[in-house]
Amino acid sequence: MSVVVARGLTKRFGEFEAVRGVDVEVRERECFGFLGPNGAGKTTTMRMISCTSPPTDGELSVLGLPSSRGRDIRRRMGVVPQENNLDEEVSVVENLLIYARYFDIPRRVAAPAAEELLRFVALQDKRDWRIDRLSGGMKRRLLIARALINEPELLILDEPTTGLDPQARHLVWEKLRSLKREGVTLVLTTHYMDEAAQLCDRLVIMHEGRILIEGPPRELVARETSPQVIEVFEPDEDAARGLRDLADLAERVERLADRWLFYTADGDALLAKVRGVVPDPGSVWLRGATLEDVFLQLTGRGLLE
Amino acid sequence: MSASTTTVTRAPRTPLVRIPDVRLRSAWRLWQRNAAIYRKTYRVNILPNFFEPFFYLLAMGIGLGAFLEREVLGFEYIDYIAPGLAATAAMYGTSFEVTFNCFVKMQFGKVYDAAMATPLTIEDVGLGELLWGTTRALIYGQVFVLIAAGFGVVHTPLVIFTPIAIALIGMMFSVIGLTFTAIIPLIDYFTYYWTLFITPMFLFSGIFFPVSGLPGWAQVLAWFMPLHHSVNLMRALTLTGDVGGAILAAAWIVGITALLFVFPLNLLRRRLVK
Ligand SMILES: Nc1ncnc2c1ncn2[C@@H]1O[C@H](COP(=O)(O)OP(=O)(O)O)[C@@H](O)[C@H]1O
Ligand SMILES: [Mg+2]
């Protein structure tokens, strides 16, 4: 069964079209990602899927119900918002208990569930802390715990790791992976390519309200771009002239503000030639292609502005 | 799958008059949230709100009252002003809540966004706030009545109906205040609510002197003031025992509340469900 089905999903704010006819289908127990730069329409799409914002046009069903049945859908779903909206006046554990009430979960069920969830997100030692004492990473984890209080079948996470330090990110990733193992369907947005590649079974790349491409991350990279990339950092005039002559040897060349990218199937051969033009070894390197290269190819500009 | 999908056409702007998508149990959940947080903070919250009308009772009732002949109004001055101050306590009890507090929760704390990601709708949230505001009015108004009773200001057995009266007054001011909150773009606009609405009502609703002493146009204006009818209701139930007057005032309050009731809920939807 498909957990989310959207056809021609559209959202307009006045004249402005933030989401322009999105088609997606999220399957049960998978982790599905929306990758895209700021302003792509990810949050707007998440808000429609989480039934807090009615679509302007198109078809949308979530958990087998039409999106107009918001109450019934939201009861079975968890949402981790992009912006922290914890109750600042009360403690960590009370945040979970207050939220549990919204789902009509009786106290005798909610109290042990809250303790277990705090253990799950490694906040059991902070259970009596006020929210303003928590770090950004702890707040994120608490938001995740709160979204799980109703044992949701579908968990929606809007930029779950934006602004977190590397350790905190990895902790969040680990929790998301274990939720997936437990059978929760995950839908997340991110503008980190590595996050999408690490977590998502399938993803879409979104740009200016549209879906550019869809598929499993590795497949997308293999399908849409050459496997290897040579980056040349800030070549001078002479080097640039030499590089232009090499352009024909690459499958594709991108020029960014601060570097040139050569896409090729045979990185070693081309690398030798590039080194001949740019002798400084520190400004030339060879790497495997990533999702960012796919995005660059599709839009002609970087994913992170 | 196709059987359960649905085609949605362009969502029209939420009309102001419409039956809100509201369930009492869900609204109650929001009430419980507020109550849980109030229990944490009431020690710092209850005192300032509560003492203000009480200072008026002491200063005007006892201080100024000492210089006023009983015959001026036909009552001891403290007896005359106490019911109006009880109505004021109820009005303040909810008004701080449904204006500043709700705006902060809505705009800065994103409390309503959090609740709307659960089975609650924005209308449930709105009704929960109205019920909570009413509860606060009941606490502040009734405690005032009890303490004022200790000064001997209660002169009729109708006083047993004051909880109902205060709840009605509280709901009316909750509806009015939350409507204003749902409309204003910036928290600074509450200055208008307080200086152009609350404060003039406090002065000209017949708490400290009978409205009948004012010029005709001012009496007409007073009739449109929600606090004026609240004062009349409380005065009937604590001082004069005027059953007919009480019923008239209560009818005015219930009528205006019923008339305005759906506006804050629909305005909140218009503002927050985008
Ligand atoms: N309530 C709104 N009113 C008007 N424009 C909006 C609103 N919400 C989002 N937008 C616009 O829609 C576009 C997509 O926003 P958003 O979905 O937040 O993107 P993302 O989450 O991918 O960064 C942006 O240009 C944003 O300014
Ligand atoms: Mg966003």
Digit-coded pLDDT (tens) for B21-46: 999 999 999 999 999 999 887 777 66
Please indicate if any CB of chain A lies within 8 Å of the CB of B120: yes
Return the pLDDT at B3. Answer: 41
Domains by residue range for chain A, with CATH: 2-216 (3.40.50.300), 226-288 (3.30.70)
Q: What residue numbers bound the domain in which B186 lies?
A: 24-272
Query: pLDDT, tens digit, for every residue of B212-270?
Result: 989 999 999 999 999 999 999 999 999 999 999 999 999 999 999 999 999 999 999 99
Q: Identify which of A53, A64, A70 has the shortest CB distance to residue B4.
A: A64
Please indicate if any CB of chain A lies within 8 Å of the CB of B9: yes
Pocket around ligand 1 at a 6 A CB cut-off: A 13, 16, 18, 36, 38-44; B 274
Q: Which residues have their alpha-adjacent CB atom under 5 A from ion ligand 2?
A: A 42-43, 82
For A257, counting Cβ atoms within 10 Å of its Cβ (0-12 exposed, 13-18 middle, 19+ buried), the class is exposed
Give a yes or no: residue B177 inside a domain: yes
pLDDT of residue B75 exceeding 50, the answer is: yes
What domain count does chain B have? 1
Please indicate if any CB of chain A lies within 8 Å of the CB of B104: no
Mean pLDDT for the stretch of residues A9-17 = 95
The fraction of chain B above a pLDDT of 90, given in percent, is 79
Cβ–Cβ gap B8/A89 under 8 Å: no
Return the pLDDT at B41. Answer: 79
Query: pLDDT, tens digit, for every residue of B172-193?
Result: 999 999 999 999 999 999 999 9
| Separation of first and last alpha carbons in chain A | 37
User: Measured between alpha carbons, how far is A2 from B38 in angstroms, rounded to an integer?
Assistant: 43
B8: distance to nearest CA of chain A, Å? 5
Return the pLDDT at B47. Answer: 67
B2: distance to nearest CA of chain A, Å? 9
Give a yes or no: residue B265 inside a domain: yes
Query: pLDDT, tens digit, for every residue of B83-105?
Result: 999 999 999 999 999 999 999 99
Return the pLDDT at B207. Answer: 95
Return the pLDDT at B50. Answer: 74
Residue B136's pLDDT band (cuts 50, 70, 90):
very high
User: Measured between alpha carbons, how far is B202 from B221 in angstroms, rounded to an integer?
Assistant: 13
Is the sign of the CA dihedral A77, A78, A83, A89 positive or negative? positive
Residue A305's pLDDT band (cuts 50, 70, 90):
very low
Query: pLDDT, tens digit, for every residue of A37-78?
Result: 899 999 999 999 999 999 999 999 999 999 999 999 999 999
Query: pLDDT, tens digit, for every residue of B137-149?
Result: 999 999 999 999 9
Return the pLDDT at A292. Answer: 86
A303 alpha carbon – ligand 2 mean position (Å): 14
The fraction of chain B above a pLDDT of 70, given in percent, is 93
Nearest ligand 1 atom to alpha carbon A206: 22
A132 alpha carbon – ligand 1 mean position (Å): 28
A223 alpha carbon – ligand 2 mean position (Å): 27
pTM tops 0.90: yes
User: Measured between alpha carbons, how far is B114 from B224 in angstroms, rounded to an integer?
Assistant: 38
Give a yes or no: residue B109 inside a domain: yes
Give a yes or no: residue B14 inside a domain: no
Scanning every residue of chain A, which has its alpha carbon at the shortest distance from the alpha carbon of B34? Answer: A98
Mean pLDDT for chain A overall = 93
Give a yes or no: residue B12 inside a domain: no
Alpha helices in A88-165 (DSSP H): 92-102, 107-120, 136-147
Q: Whose CA is nearest to atom 25 of ligand 1?
A: A39
Give a yes or no: residue B212 inside a domain: yes
Q: Whose CA is nearest to atom 6 of ligand 1?
A: A13
On chain A, the residues whose CB falls within 8 A of the CB of B8 are 54-60, 67-68
User: Measured between alpha carbons, how far is A22 from A12 in angstroms, rounded to an integer?
Assistant: 13
Give a yes or no: residue B127 inside a domain: yes
On chain B, the residues whose CB falls within 8 A of the CB of A70 are 121
* Residue A26 structure tokens: 């999220």
Return the pLDDT at B45. Answer: 67
Q: Which residue has tokens 């939220």?
A: A99
On chain B, the residues whose CB falls within 8 A of the CB of A44 are none
On chain A, the residues whose CB falls within 8 A of the CB of B25 are 104
3-state secondary structure chain B: CHHHCCEECCCCCCCCCCCCCCCHHHHHHHHHHHHHHHHHHHHHHHHHHHHHHHHHHHHHHHHHHHHCCHHHCCCCHHHHHHHHHHHHHHHHHHHHHHHHHHHHHHHCCCHHHHHHCCCCCHHHHHHHHHHHHHHHHHHHHHHHHHHHHCCCCCCCHHHHHHHHHHHHHHHHHHHHHHHHHHHCCCHHHHHHHHHHHHHHHHHHCCCCCCHHHCCHHHHHHHHCCHHHHHHHHHHHHHHHCCHHHHHHHHHHHHHHHHHHCHHHHHHHHHHHCC
Give a yes or no: residue B195 inside a domain: yes
Return the pLDDT at B2. Answer: 41
